[in-house]
Amino acid sequence: MPPSVPAGGSGPEGPRPEAPRPEARRAETEDERLLDVQNGLAFGMDAWRVFRIMGEFVEGFEALTNLGPAVSIFGSARMGPDDPHYQACVDTSRLLAEAGYAIITGGGPGIMEAANKGAQLGGGPSIGCNIELPFEQFDNPHLDVSVDFRYFFVRKTMFVKYAQAFVIFPGGFGTLDELFEALTLIQTGKIRDFPVVLFGVDYFRGLMDWIEGTLAREGKIAAEDLELVSCTDDPEEVRDHIIGHRKPRQASQPGGRRATDPAG
């Protein structure tokens, strides 16, 4: 079992049963309590919750601060080993690990499992940032370090803060949430030199057509915003794009190399 780092306190998929609907929930989560306005009416409830959130950030920072260069990989948890994208993710992650990158995922099954498996095959650190859900979610068996979070926004910060790129495989709402958050952070200058790669040309074609044909054409985004994301079906192209785009955001060390740069 990988070491589990409790954090004070992104989503699995494959030929597995669907996650229970809200009415079938077995437990209330901290995120749910935080967002329930009635829960915040008790005197001091939200104020004291700040300390738990702060502790979760501290635990996440301590667990990942020495990780080195990394790529966060997202995709469906409902995707099993018989899906072609599962093996493509294993291959992509392995190539990135061999190139000197750690792999960060949500720590669960499906694409997350495939990415962590590829990281270990490539000899790179394999990290899982798991999340408390209303239904049980277990770590996949390919993690070197597992960090547990109660709050989605804390977990999402770790995905961005410690990565030099995002790779997005086919997935659902959670996967698209990570995609558009990254694009928003890039567009608004919060993060720079941050490649975002969609894997699955056919799967993402409709989305890309809508972004170009509706958002850009109607002026909701700038034409140059279309260059913020690329799409491919080739694991080697993912690796080469990320390596070729490498301009880490951290301050330079003496000698012109940066602490988060892979060697080579």
pLDDT tens readout for residues 121-137: 999 999 999 988 766 56
Query: What percent of the chain has a predicted confidence (pLDDT) above 90?
Result: 67
Helices (H), ranges, 128-193: 152-161, 173-187
CA distances from 180 to 17, 175, 187 (A): 27, 9, 10
Mean pLDDT taken over the chain: 84
Task: Please give the pLDDT value at position 98.
Answer: 98
> Most confidently modeled of 44-48, 116-120, 148-152?
116-120
- Residue 121 CB-density burial (10 A; 0-12 exposed, 13-18 middle, 19+ buried): middle
Task: Please give the pLDDT value at position 14.
Answer: 44
Task: Please give the pLDDT value at position 261.
Answer: 47
Please state the φ and ψ torsions of residue 126, each to the nearest 5 degrees.
-120, 115
Task: Please give the pLDDT value at position 46.
Answer: 73
pLDDT tens readout for residues 221-236: 999 999 999 999 999 9
Q: Report the distance separating Cα 116 and Cα 93, nearest Å.
A: 7
Task: Please give the pLDDT value at position 45.
Answer: 72
pLDDT tens readout for residues 160-209: 999 999 999 999 999 999 999 999 999 999 999 999 999 999 999 999 99
Whether the pLDDT of residue 5 is over 80: the answer is no
Task: Please give the pLDDT value at position 38.
Answer: 65
- Strand partners of residue 149: 131
Contact 163, 245 (CB under 8 A): no
Q: Report the distance separating Cα 93 and Cα 89, nearest Å.
A: 6
Q: Report the distance separating Cα 208 and Cα 189, nearest Å.
A: 22
Task: Please give the pLDDT value at position 47.
Answer: 77
Contact 72, 194 (CB under 8 A): no
| 133 closest CA partner among 154, 149, 145, 115 | 149
End-to-end Cα distance, the chain:
32
Contact 147, 63 (CB under 8 A): yes
| Greater pLDDT, 14 or 215 | 215
Q: Report the distance separating Cα 122 and Cα 141, nearest Å.
A: 16
Ordered structural domains, the chain, with CATH: 4-14+27-244 (3.40.50.450)
Average pLDDT, stretch 98-117? 97
